[in-house]
Amino acid sequence: MAPGFHFSPQISAVLLVFLALLSFADGGRLLVVPMDGSHWLSMRAVLDELRHKGHEIVIVAPEINVHVKASENYVMKTYPVPFTKAELEGHFLAFTQEIFEERPFLERFVRLRERLKNTSTLLLATCTHLLYNKELIRYLEGSQFDAVFTDPFMPCGQIIAEYLSIPSVFFLRGIPCGLDYKALQCPNPPSYVPRLLTTNTDHMTFPQRVKNLLFSLLEILLCDFVYAPYAKLASEFLRREITVTELLSHGSVWLMRFDFVIDYPRPLMPNIVIIGGITCAQKELSQEFESIVNVSGEHGFVVFSLGSMVSEIPMKKAKQIAEAFGTIPQTVLWRYTGEAPPNLANNTKLIKWLPQNDLLAHPKARAFITHGGSHGIYEGICNGVPMVLMPLFGDQMDNAKRIESRGAGVTLNVLEMTSKDLSDALNAVINDKSYKENIMRLSALHLDRPVHPLDLAVYWVEFVMRHKGAQHLRPAAHDLNWIQYHSLDVIAFLLAVVLVTMFISLKCCLFCCRKCFCKKGRVSKSRKSKAE
């Protein structure tokens, strides 16, 4: 026997697992490819928590961006992009200004489509400049990451995961054209799962179901329009043909920011982890805001914000809103960076930045006026504050519909509403007991969960890092084509067998009958001749 230590196979196996876990105990290395905008704000919470758990985090972001900023919690690697800060901000400003412009529907639609195309081009250019930044890619190649953490809304992170052959965790609210469920091989019946922008609920009339099915067909076109360029880019970069669906199907775990307290129950897959309400952490209000809300007296206060992207609106609209605020006894905290409307009442404070969740958590918060972004509505639910919703674009109309259909808020059309509409809506949600009761019921359900969504998100990122993916959660459906998945080949085969069997049986019967009748014929004939 050769000299040295020898262990039984069992002890070796246990030791191997133990050593693997030990090497991980120091913390792993996570590569993050974020999306800019409000998507980033909730992702950052997960990253901060991961950093506290000892992981090294490297963020790859364009030099020019709106929200993604350096922090002591992570290493920031930036890359140049072919646009300036002013151009980017101008782009977003124009986008939000257009929402408030009163134009004929068709013109609005064409302009919006144009703007979407521009955004799409901007994102694609960003991705291309990342992938073809040789120095950065060389750095990533040499960095031994355990996993990629990314928002698949822009599939750039997954292209890199694929290139580096490391597993990935997705963090998203959803992909607008249903690509998420397609890539997950998750059933998505249009009969009761409402499609984006339809403002359908899960209980639809026949015309609504027709609309929903048509929208789900349109989604395919939209997906192709937005994501086909990424397929081309990925295929070139990875030097093999790949579709965006296939690319995204390799995501190990999908952390999805929804919750069935508001979103409609639907089929799921084992690698979907639901983390709606992740940004709702109970923190104490700062002294500055505490003193503002405390002077609001017994009537309490109202929080008004149109989200991180819209901080100012046209003066005409601002005046209308200010007029409505003047009619209610509550103090209003309005997140606004634009010029103050001249008719601003004494009860209304314009503030450049609001600690939104902490304000909503205050017992004196009476109502929340929001654009219906997913972060906002979950903060409203979490803190049990009834809402007035002014949806502007994207999934906001659908979010608003969800809150309204649960009797926890009132939706207004921001373009068409009058001062009185807003003041009536505020009076309703503040004084009609049913809104508060409904939101409190939703809140109780939402907060009653075995693990906080933030901890759950952190857990699953670490899980993928520890186990180098989550292959055991990947359904075999990914290895079937459309015909096989729907068993169409099997059904065709079984039908053929049935038809052939029926045909042969029929032929046999006919043959027997003919034999029988012929015999009879001959018999009767011979009898006949005998009789003659």
Q: Partners of 410 in the beta sheet?
A: 388
Stretch binding its own copies (CB under 8 A), from 124-132, 261-269, 311-319, 346-354: 261-269
Report the relative pairing of strands 168-172 and 56-62 from DSSP bridges: unpaired
Please report how close the Cβ of residue 259 comes to its own copies at its closest, in angstroms. Answer: 9
d(CA 333, CA 293): 9
Count of residues in contact with its own copies, rule CB under 8 A: 70
| Range 498-527, binding its own copies (CB under 8 A) | none
Contact status: 495 vs its own copies (CB under 8 A): no
Contact status: 89 vs its own copies (CB under 8 A): no
Please report how close the Cβ of residue 304 comes to its own copies at its closest, in angstroms. Answer: 18
Radius of gyration of the chain measured on its C-alpha atoms: 30
Using the rule CB under 8 A, which residue among 112, 125, 268, 292 binds its own copies? Answer: 268
Spell out the residues 6+ positions from residue 7 whose beta carbon is closer than 8 angstroms to its own. Answer: 15
Distance of CA 493 to the CA centre of its chain: 40
In the shown chain, the binding pattern of residues 7 to 46 toward its own copies, with x for contact by CB under 8 A and - for none, equals -xxx-xxx-xx-----------------------------
Stretch binding its own copies (CB under 8 A), from 115-123, 159-167, 224-232, 442-450: 442-450
In the shown chain, the binding pattern of residues 383 to 412 toward its own copies, with x for contact by CB under 8 A and - for none, equals -x----------------------------
d(CA 274, CA 259): 6
Minimum CB distance to its own copies smaller for 29 or for 467: 467
Please report how close the Cβ of residue 30 comes to its own copies at its closest, in angstroms. Answer: 17
Q: To 5 degrees, how large is the angle CA 472–CA 464–CA 125?
A: 110
The DSSP H or E segment spanning 56 is strand 56-62
Token code pair at residue 99 = 């929402």
Angle of helix 206-238 relative to helix 156-164, nearest 10 degrees, comes to 40
Q: To 5 degrees, how large is the angle CA 117–CA 120–CA 121?
A: 90
Minimum CB distance to its own copies smaller for 263 or for 323: 263
Minimum CB distance to its own copies smaller for 14 or for 509: 14
Token code pair at residue 263 = 């979103």
Contact status: 271 vs its own copies (CB under 8 A): yes
**Phi, then psi, of 107 in degrees rounded to 5:** -65, -45
Using the rule CB under 8 A, which residue among 80, 82, 90, 270 binds its own copies? Answer: 270
Which of 215, 375, 235, 373 minimizes the C-alpha distance to 306? 373
Minimum CB distance to its own copies smaller for 228 or for 491: 491
| Range 280-309, binding its own copies (CB under 8 A) | 298, 300
Q: To 5 degrees, how large is the angle CA 460–CA 462–CA 467?
A: 95
Stretch binding its own copies (CB under 8 A), from 2-10, 148-156, 304-312, 396-404: 2-10
Cβ pair 197, 215 in contact under 8 A = yes
Using the rule CB under 8 A, which residue among 80, 82, 90, 187 binds its own copies? Answer: 187
**Phi, then psi, of 172 in degrees rounded to 5:** -155, 160
Minimum CB distance to its own copies smaller for 125 or for 440: 440
d(CA 107, CA 397): 20
N-terminal to C-terminal alpha carbon distance within the chain: 108
d(CA 279, CA 165): 31
d(CA 149, CA 171): 7
| Range 461-490, binding its own copies (CB under 8 A) | 463, 466-467, 472-477, 479-480, 484-487, 489-490
Cβ pair 79, 63 in contact under 8 A = yes
Please report how close the Cβ of residue 210 comes to its own copies at its closest, in angstroms. Answer: 5
Contact status: 264 vs its own copies (CB under 8 A): yes
| Range 344-373, binding its own copies (CB under 8 A) | 366
Give the type of residue at 420.
K
Contact status: 189 vs its own copies (CB under 8 A): yes
Contact status: 246 vs its own copies (CB under 8 A): no
Angle of helix 134-141 relative to helix 156-164, nearest 10 degrees, comes to 50
* 3-state secondary structure (DSSP) of residue 518: helix
Using the rule CB under 8 A, which residue among 28, 157, 190, 373 binds its own copies? Answer: 190
Minimum CB distance to its own copies smaller for 476 or for 531: 476
**Phi, then psi, of 410 in degrees rounded to 5:** -125, 135
Minimum CB distance to its own copies smaller for 498 or for 510: 498
Minimum CB distance to its own copies smaller for 93 or for 213: 213
Please report how close the Cβ of residue 318 comes to its own copies at its closest, in angstroms. Answer: 29
Minimum CB distance to its own copies smaller for 61 or for 408: 408
The contact set with its own copies (CB under 8 A) reads 8-10, 12-14, 16-17, 186-187, 189-192, 202-203, 206, 209-210, 213-214, 260-261, 264-271, 298, 300, 366, 384, 431-433, 436-437, 440-441, 444-445, 448, 450-451, 455-456, 459, 463, 466-467, 472-477, 479-480, 484-487, 489-491, 493-494
